[in-house]
Structure 1
Amino acid sequence: MSHTSLPFQALNIAVLTVSDTRDESTDTSGGYLVSALQESGHQLTDKEIVKDDIYQMRAVISQWIASETIQVILVTGGTGFTERDSTPEALTPLFDKTVEGFGELFRQLSYSEISASTIQSRAIAGLANGTVIFCMPGSTGACKTAWQKIIQSQLDASHKPCNFVPHLSVPSANSCATRG
């Protein structure tokens, strides 16, 4: 098994903000993710804001999963415990595989920032049709933690010993593809 790193490869990323109250002028979390992905060299393919509604979320995400041009979807919001928070319930059925480590690591990293309140985060991730989907809380601080400490390196083909690029519908990606 080779751990040869590949050069950075720009990915096509879509951003979804789940909120009953935000619009483009108040969507600081979605705005942060757009800036961060572009500053990292990736391409923003689409960005939407939808109400915290299972079927609206599934409709948008299903369209993006079916797209041949989108490799990554970043979702912010709807991961808490209020009555309206339904991102995990909406998106988990769409996953071909769940990335358990994302939520686990996110909560571990968040503990140093928000203490035991991190147990109220239901951050999740999964793979669907060659697309990786990361779902994080709606706060801008949570999005910064997730992007800077987890997601950014996992979307970089040069990151060793492995990253998600070989699992995405991206040509000539081969880094840790044989790891179990």
Structure 2
Amino acid sequence: MSERDFLPVRIAVLTVSDTRSSADDRSGDTLVERLEGAGHVLAARGILPDDRAAIAARLRSWCADDGIDVILTTGGTGLTGRDVTVEAHRDVYEKEIDAFGTVFTLVSMNKIGTSAVQSRATGGVAMGTYLFALPGSPGACRDAWDEILAPQLDYRHRPCNFVEIMPRLDEHLRRK
């Protein structure tokens, strides 16, 4: 069997925070360093406040952009009143990747014990684009990238990965 070649993926990073700016966005920086270090392309980057409608609008806009394959958000996945990123993601999803949150919780349990129950990390698909909502800490972003996203966004990963099914994510929209 022949070895597969690496296929770079175009990834957008959105930080959701009422207090962060580009000067102190450590979680966004962590994701950018990791994705570029893996050979992927930073397709877009932004920061938005904790506003459900604004987050959902940006997600929809980026999903409609043919130059973006994956959207990673960081922040707003907790339990407080301002944490609305998960709801914004679910406003956009066509399909939720239920196991993403479960696997993220398992990874987090190994790092922070039962405090992992306070995260609502989620993943889904919309308009042929993958979307993942990650907590707002650099450590959580590192864990999600290193333990889940890096292998799943690598076409060479076996037995299966997200990249190999990208061309089929929007097959339901094509003419038969």
**Same fold judged by TM-score > 0.5?**
yes
Match of 2:59 in 1: 61
Question: Following the alignment from structure 2 to structure 1, what is the Cα–Cα distance between the partners of residues 113 and 152?
Answer: 25
- Deviation, 1:5, is 5.8
Question: Following the alignment from structure 1 to structure 2, what is the Cα–Cα distance between the partners of residues 23 and 52?
Answer: 13
Match of 2:16 in 1: 18
Asked if 2 retains the 8 angstrom alpha-carbon contact of 1:131 and 1:169, the reply is: no
Match of 1:87 in 2: 85
- Deviation, 1:169, is 4.4
Question: Following the alignment from structure 1 to structure 2, what is the Cα–Cα distance between the partners of residues 5 and 72?
Answer: 24
Moved over 4 A (4+): none
Question: Following the alignment from structure 1 to structure 2, what is the Cα–Cα distance between the partners of residues 34 and 48?
Answer: 12
Match of 1:144 in 2: 142
What secondary structure is seen at the aligned counterpart in 2 of 1:168? helix
- Deviation, 1:75, is 0.6
The superposition leaves residues 15-44 of structure 1 with CA deviations (integer Å, 9 ceiling, x where unpaired) of 000000000111000001011100000000
- Deviation, 1:49, is 0.3
Match of 1:173 in 2: none
Match of 1:174 in 2: none
Alignment: residue pair count: 168
Match of 2:173 in 1: none
What secondary structure is seen at the aligned counterpart in 2 of 1:78? coil
Match of 2:152 in 1: 154
Which structure carries more helix by proportion?
2
Question: Following the alignment from structure 2 to structure 1, what is the Cα–Cα distance between the partners of residues 98 and 92?
Answer: 15
- Deviation, 1:91, is 1.0
Match of 1:132 in 2: 130
1:11-50 matches, cutoff 5 A:
11-50=9-48
Distance 1:168 1:113, change over 3 A: same
Structure 2 residue runs without a partner (length 5+): 169-176
- Deviation, 1:167, is 2.8
Q: Kindly provide the amino acid, as one letter, of the partner of residue 25 in structure 1.
A: A
Question: Following the alignment from structure 2 to structure 1, what is the Cα–Cα distance between the partners of residues 42 and 95?
Answer: 24
Distance 1:4 1:144, change over 3 A: same
Match of 2:95 in 1: 97
RMSD of aligned Cα (Å) = 1.4
Match of 2:76 in 1: 78
Question: Following the alignment from structure 1 to structure 2, what is the Cα–Cα distance between the partners of residues 133 and 117?
Answer: 24
Distance 1:6 1:57, change over 3 A: same
- Deviation, 1:166, is 2.5
Structure 1 residue runs without a partner (length 5+): 171-180
Match of 1:166 in 2: 164
Q: Kindly provide the amino acid, as one letter, of the partner of residue 84 in structure 1.
A: R
Question: Following the alignment from structure 1 to structure 2, what is the Cα–Cα distance between the partners of residues 37 and 5?
Answer: 22
